[in-house]
Chains A and B, each alone.
Chain A
Amino acid sequence: MDGLVVALINGLKRSKNFSNLPMPLLQDLRLAIVEGIGNAMRHGGCNPKRPCRVSLKAEPKKLIVRIEDRGLGFNLNSALKKRPQDEAVSGRGLWILKNLMDKVVYRKGRPNVLELTRKLSRPKNLDAAIELFDLLHRSIQQLRPKKYLYEQFIEFMTGLFNVERASFLMFDRETQTLKVATSRGITPKIARKVSIAPGEGIAGYVFKTSRPMLVHHLSKMKKGSPKPRKKGYRSSSFVSVPVVASPFHIGEETIGVLNLTDKRDGSRFTQGEVKLLNLMAGQAASAFRIRDLLDTVRSHESLNKEFEIVQEIQNRLVPQDFPKIGDLDIAGACKLSNRGGGDYYDAVKVQQSMRGVLADVSGHHVGSAITMASFRAIFRSLVIDPNNPGELIRVLRWAMHQDLLKLHQFISCWTFEYHSGGMMRMSGAGHPPVFILRAKSKKWESIESQHLPLGLEDDSEPHISKVQLDRKDWLFFYTDGLFDPRMRATGFDKYKFYEIVESNSHLKSQEMVQKIIEEVTPHQMSIKSPDDIAILAFRRGS
């Protein structure tokens, strides 16, 4: 019997989407199935003429095991009423099942069916990162001072990594040195004296280069490596990561450095932990950034300034440049309306590809802009890991869900991944379709989004659309403000857009987006309370 169960589990492990399930979960599953089958065989009268049937169904968020038998059946609730005596010879199987699985259901019938469900949790790394971001974000919403956020940050990291010593150093523009903003395990007297120039020591080096550093033997560092400023660390393992609101320092300023050392269990930091630290330091930097932006908002008392504030937020967060991938020419434009705030696009280089997003936060004004800033932070922290744009939408949905629920907002978006040679993969969540103009045939194509907007639960399998862009083909992502139905009355609609693109298809992408904005603006001005417009234009081989 165990051989059968092992075969089931191995089949699961070989499948593409479930090959990384943690061993403890697989072991639990194996035991639960064994107990379930054992129960069916003992009490369900299974024999070669009336075999038990076992199936394992793997869904994105859960695993479901069904065990069928044709015995007399039993009452599950009665069986689970009392915990088996410690000395009991038998009767433990169902209790074990109940404790290993998230849900156990038994239906009497022909056949009897025992159904076991085990939820699949997110990767622990993601959980920790999202937990930190949630913690900081709540404090931001409560308008806690920045110092409070710094304390929360270091307390969380010290606890998570179980270290005795930690310090968060921030760059002081006045003195042009790194100073301790908060620390653990370091006396205040010493902390006050710390003043590190960029490039000096490990922390200064990490700050200057924006690259994390893991040191195992402080005394055995290679010649030419940055020298530790002071000796006296109890353990030989020390990690320092930059605190920058983007994992690869993409147009972002490093605001400081986080140092951890002296793990309580005496173990060393691993590369995996450095990666997690890097991610979480990025989350924290984004949160601190959002807190700064809120201060900007609060300092403007007049409502008339709100538009300027939203514009300021958007200018800071929407990229001006894009990564260079092969012969792709890409440009974007955002046109805020007077009630605007929630449109956003972004693109980062990940290995040899470009990954990006175009999103629209529901609602308007500063509230949407702040949510957009949060979304950007989450996107930039999580963009590297997922295997494809569909998976990226899934993790973004997980990460943003609680906040969107609380704020009664939702986000529609497209995520995409572009490779040199013109291959584009994309996944859409409740967003208007993508438009493509083929240079050879001069025909338009569109791709519909398949998922629900973020802020709503969507358990469907990630859906990925693939497009091969040939030379001089155009592809457009945009927000729904571009095709506000009220603009049809003045003559702007999808067909007008097609006409504009076709007439200007020789332009570079930057010129094209400007042309579109120029053409749509009079129509936008003619309607009451127009929406924002954001456009991303891609063209190969310009």
Chain B
Amino acid sequence: MKVNAKEIAGIVIVEVEGEIDAEHAPNLKRCLQKARESAEKGMVLDLKKVSFIDSTGLGVLISLMRQLKEQDRELRLLGLQDEVRSIFEITRLYKVFSLCESLETAVQEIKTIKG
């Protein structure tokens, strides 16, 4: 699993590639915690290249969402592949995460809310 992060005007965009399972979830969690430090307005998780996610992986995302919410920061997910989207539908987690179709939309939404 690979994780790349870049910050643009207080929004950290994190691109994840590979499988987010029990083996890789701790590493992802560490990367996201680090990225969160510079995410003044919020974060965008680009999951276009994520082919698989299990419950441990979902737990990492939920944990991030809660932490950002506590700090009044935004989170957007984008690029869910069919398999990953299906997990979000089964678990009904699509109701709690904000899903975007493009990076531009995600960034714009955060800017609109946070200024």
Contact = CB atoms under 8 A, between A and B. Distances in A.
A430 B90 contact: yes
Contact of B58 (A342, A410, A485): A410
Contacts of B95: 452
A456 B96 contact: yes
A453 B63 contact: no
Contacts of B66: 405
Interface string A354-379: 00000011111000000000000000
B52 A485 contact: yes
Interface in A438-489: 449-453, 455-456, 480, 485-486
Contacts of A431: 90-91
Interface string A249-292: 00000000000000000000000000000000000000000000
What DSSP secondary structure best describes chain A's contact surface? loop
B103 to A, nearest CB: 26
A412 B62 CA distance: 14
B90 A409 contact: no
Nearest to B29: A408
Interface in A380-413: 405, 408-410, 412
Interface string B27-67: 00000000000000000000000001011101110110010
Contact of A449 (B22, B54, B58, B90): B90
A433 interface: yes
Contacts of A528: 23
Contact of A486 (B52, B58, B62): B52
B7 interface: no
Nearest to A531: B54
Contacts of A227: none
Contacts, number: 64
Size class of B's contact patch?
20 to 34
A363 B90 contact: no
Q: Which of B58, B59, B60, B83 has the most CB of A within 10 A?
A: B59
Given A485-B52, A529-B22, A363 B59 contact: yes
A423 to B, nearest CB: 26
Contacts of B83: 485
Contacts of A339: 22
A342 B54 CA distance: 13
Contacts of A432: 90
3 closest A-B pairs by beta carbon, nearest first, are A362-B55, A430-B91, A408-B63
Given A410-B55, A431-B90, A449-B92, 13 more contacts: A361-B55, A362-B58, A363-B56, A409-B59, A410-B59, A412-B91, A430-B90, A430-B92, A451-B92, A452-B91, A452-B95, A456-B96, A480-B90
24 contacts: A361-B55, A362-B55, A362-B59, A363-B22, A364-B22, A408-B63, A410-B55, A410-B59, A412-B55, A429-B92, A430-B90, A449-B92, A450-B92, A452-B93, A452-B95, A453-B93, A456-B62, A480-B54, A480-B90, A485-B52, A528-B23, A529-B23, A531-B54, A531-B55
Interface of B: 21-23, 52, 54-56, 58-60, 62-63, 66, 83, 87, 90-93, 95-96
